[in-house]
Amino acid sequence: MQQPTPAAAFPATSPDDDLVPTWLGPTRIVIGLAQGLLLYLLYTAAQDKSWPATVPLLFGPLAMLGLLLPVILISGLGHLSRRQLTAWALGAAAVIALLAAYDMWRRLGGTSWEGGKPSGMLTFCLAVGFFIAHALVLAASREGRRIAAYASYFEVAWKLNLQILFCLVFVGATWMVLQLGAALFDLVKLDFLSKAIGKAWFFIPVTAFAFSVAMHLTDVKPAIVRGIRNLLHVLLSWILPVLTLLVGGFLASLPFTGLDPLWATRSAGGILLSAAAAFVVLINAAYQDGASPPARVLAAAARIACLLLVPLTLLAAYALALRVADHGWSADRVIAAASLLVAACYAGGYTAAALRRGWLRALAGVNIAAAFVVLAVLALLLSPVLDPGRIAVNSQLARLASGQIALRQLDVAYLHHHGARHGRAALAQLEESATGPDADWLRAELARLRQPRPLDADTPAQIERNLKVWPAGAALPAGFAQFDWKKVEAHYDLPLCLRSQQTPCDAYMIDLGGDARLEVIVVGAPDHGNAVLRQDDQGGWQIAGSLPASLSACAPMLDALRAGRVRAAPPPLADLDIGGRHVPLERSATRPDCAAMYGQAAKAAEVSEVSKAQEDAPR
């Protein structure tokens, strides 16, 4: 391959070159070590609360630059000329710094534990966005034009994808070997390695070093990566007919089941979008780079899948519209709407392609256009234009101003934490303008939220606010709210309302042991868990058991519990006494079928009852 002169460019290497420049590996490793050192210094500053961690608008951009920019440099070396790599690195650094600075700015003014580091959304969106952008840049550089052929995009993107996957595997294997070595030295009372592994000065640089080594090794052995990619595509492509059959059967069943059971799940939109995303991945696994047509079965399945994307996307959009109409916009719903926009691009493009001859080739143009749409959507979500927190705050305030909700129904905690700067500014204005009893309630809530404690602080007052006790008029047993629930064995099996703020649960008092001592049955929203809690002789509380998770989604059963129509029932089979030792029988879990017990009306009741009671907040 013709090499540029060293004065003008780095010696660019083709992925198929057998001869790798001697400078390439050491340079990448040096960049990895520099990344590890920078991240260690930033970590130390954050732990010690010293500069630059004391300046969030500087610390956030530095952290994101230290995390992402070295990876871009390592990957670009050998594939981009010096001028191209410099321009791309500077442009990427500017975008990262600006978006990270805005992310830190919007969260300034919160409690100390909220700020100080980039948000998870920023980290995820930047990682995804720069993966796509880097693939576009490398492919364009390879062909010497701004918009490359789809085959180049396909080759580069899948290579990067597998490179990152193998890098993570390599880093994990490195740490497994280090842990094994530490265990061996511990056998002879030499604990220097086990101590070093737990120190930031060791594990951060070692992780960055291992990642850079893996990036280099996977880059100079492209034939291995290409072979694994082809095998992966073959395996994935034959899953496409299965998914097509399943989704087709699901859509065909809707006229008979109706849409009420679908909306009752309250997670329909996410599942439908996941199915659409799986379709896109599997269709492209069958199509690959378009060099050769897939098998007839795969081509037929891919064509049908392209058409099925439209109803999936429309159903997901309708599910989101229902939630927004009932509860307004939240940050999660704004992100879901952005995801729907991307899904609509794929659905529209793939459907148009499937309805014409030579349709497989048309997918290439759709994929390229969709990549740019994804980049635009990610940039807008991280900028003031489509800031999910700002949109959510404006939506909830509009609902309050229009009288759709009263002030006491406003989810103040959500606006304070998830609305970030915009939410706190809006709440401050409400605090000044509110009058009457609601004003006192609002000021009390804001005073509590402004306390410097973590979100999952389980203070007695918060536990009492989370729990609604049944039957009406009953009170929690003495000491229940004051109990330290972190002392419970299997603490994370407790319902979420005993571990987190702003997660309501129902608590039912009933004597299940026949000893005149009340047990407490705590039932949260679906996916929030439930538990039967029993007090021991020392006054502590333990998990005595749990109820089927489906109980939380069965409104008629919850109504019966709240009305007190519940009693202790003996088990159908007794436990065993073996040689004087009590051996409890491990009973198979039985899941009550709400629809079978109460009819399909139970599903509709779930929407109006459970959703209203436990999810009227804009989460």
Span 206-235, mean pLDDT?
A: 88
Choose the final residue of a domain: 396, 417, 449. 449
Percentage, residues of the chain above pLDDT 70: 89
The verdict on residue 590 lying in a domain is no
Nearest-CA neighbor of 320 among 267, 277, 373, 275? Answer: 267
Q: Could you tell me the pLDDT band of residue 453, with boundaries at 50, 70 and 90? A: low
Of these ranges, 124-133, 182-191, 349-358, 400-409, the one predicted with the greatest mean pLDDT is 124-133
**Which residues lie closer than 8 Å to 159 by C-beta, 6 or more apart?**
15, 222, 225, 226, 229
Same domain, 29 and 138: yes
Q: Could you tell me the pLDDT band of residue 609, with boundaries at 50, 70 and 90? A: very low
The verdict on residue 200 lying in a domain is yes
Residue 297 near residue 238, CB atoms below 8 Å? no
Span 85-102, mean pLDDT?
A: 96
Same domain, 248 and 194: no
pLDDT tens for 513-541 read 777 778 888 888 777 788 888 888 777 88
Q: Is the pTM of this model over 0.75?
A: no
Nearest-CA neighbor of 485 among 504, 506, 521, 460? Answer: 460
The verdict on residue 402 lying in a domain is yes
Q: Could you tell me the pLDDT band of residue 44, with boundaries at 50, 70 and 90? A: very high
Q: Could you tell me the pLDDT band of residue 619, with boundaries at 50, 70 and 90? A: very low
pLDDT at 36 over 70: yes
Look at phi and psi of residue 248 and say left if phi exceeds 0, alpha if psi is from -120 to 50, else beta: alpha
pLDDT tens for 277-307 read 999 999 999 888 777 778 889 989 999 999 9
**Which residues lie closer than 8 Å to 310 by C-beta, 6 or more apart?**
347, 348, 351
Same domain, 315 and 393: no
pLDDT confidence of residue 318 = 93
Q: Could you tell me the pLDDT band of residue 15, with boundaries at 50, 70 and 90? A: very low
pLDDT confidence of residue 604 = 45
Q: Could you tell me the pLDDT band of residue 456, with boundaries at 50, 70 and 90? A: very low
Choose the final residue of a domain: 398, 422, 449. 449
Stretch among 40-44, 374-378, 437-441 having the lowest mean pLDDT: 437-441
Span 388-411, mean pLDDT?
A: 90
Same domain, 84 and 192: yes
pLDDT confidence of residue 612 = 47
Span 335-363, mean pLDDT?
A: 90
Nearest-CA neighbor of 306 among 332, 280, 330? Answer: 280
Give helix then strand counts, H and E, for the chain.
22, 7
What DSSP string describes 158-207? HHHHHHHHHHHHHHHHHHHHHHHHHHHHHHTT--HHHHHHTSHHHHHHHH
Residue 8 near residue 82, CB atoms below 8 Å? yes
pLDDT, the chain, mean: 84
pLDDT confidence of residue 111 = 56
Looking at per-residue confidence, does 584 or 50 come out higher? Answer: 50
Span 408-414, mean pLDDT?
A: 85
Element housing 587 (H / E)? none
pLDDT confidence of residue 597 = 65
pLDDT confidence of residue 393 = 94
Same domain, 536 and 413: no
The verdict on residue 321 lying in a domain is yes
DSSP, res 551: G
pLDDT at 112 over 70: no
pLDDT confidence of residue 512 = 82
The verdict on residue 4 lying in a domain is no
Q: Which domain holds residue 119?
A: 24-220
Same domain, 415 and 555: no
Of these ranges, 1-5, 55-59, 551-555, 581-585, the one predicted with the greatest mean pLDDT is 55-59
Strand order in the sheet with 541-545: 467-470, 505-510, 519-524, 530-535, 541-545
The verdict on residue 176 lying in a domain is yes
Q: To 5 degrees, how large is the angle CA 301–CA 306–CA 308? A: 90
Nearest-CA neighbor of 127 among 174, 160, 105, 154? Answer: 160
pLDDT confidence of residue 7 = 37
Same domain, 56 and 195: yes
The verdict on residue 110 lying in a domain is yes
Looking at per-residue confidence, does 113 or 99 come out higher? Answer: 99
pLDDT confidence of residue 587 = 65
Domains identified in the chain, total number = 4
Span 195-221, mean pLDDT?
A: 91
pLDDT confidence of residue 459 = 65
Same domain, 152 and 212: yes
β-bridge pairing 519-524 and 530-535: antiparallel
Stretch among 281-285, 382-386, 467-471 having the lowest mean pLDDT: 467-471
Same domain, 76 and 211: yes
pLDDT at 493 over 60: yes
Same domain, 476 and 520: yes
For the record, the structure tokens of 309 come out as 């994307």
The amino acid sitting at 25 is G
Percentage, residues of the chain above pLDDT 90: 43
HSE on the CB side for 122, CA within 13 Å?
Answer: 28
| Cα–Cα distance, 511 to 513 (Å, whole number) | 6
Residue 112: count other Cβ atoms within 10 Å of its Cβ: 10
Looking at per-residue confidence, does 16 or 45 come out higher? Answer: 45
Span 607-619, mean pLDDT?
A: 44
Stretch among 17-21, 219-223, 329-333, 410-414 having the lowest mean pLDDT: 17-21
Residue 374 near residue 118, CB atoms below 8 Å? no
Query: Please, what is the angle between helix 420-433 and helix 437-449, to 10°?
Result: 150
pLDDT at 245 over 80: yes
Residue 342 near residue 377, CB atoms below 8 Å? yes
Same domain, 185 and 42: yes
The verdict on residue 583 lying in a domain is no
pLDDT confidence of residue 1 = 39
Residue 501 near residue 457, CB atoms below 8 Å? yes
Q: To 5 degrees, how large is the angle CA 344–CA 345–CA 351? A: 85
Element housing 541 (H / E)? strand 541-545
pLDDT at 388 over 60: yes
Same domain, 407 and 427: yes
Span 38-66, mean pLDDT?
A: 92
Look at phi and psi of residue 584 and say left if phi exceeds 0, alpha if psi is from -120 to 50, else beta: beta
Choose the final residue of a domain: 449, 476, 499. 449
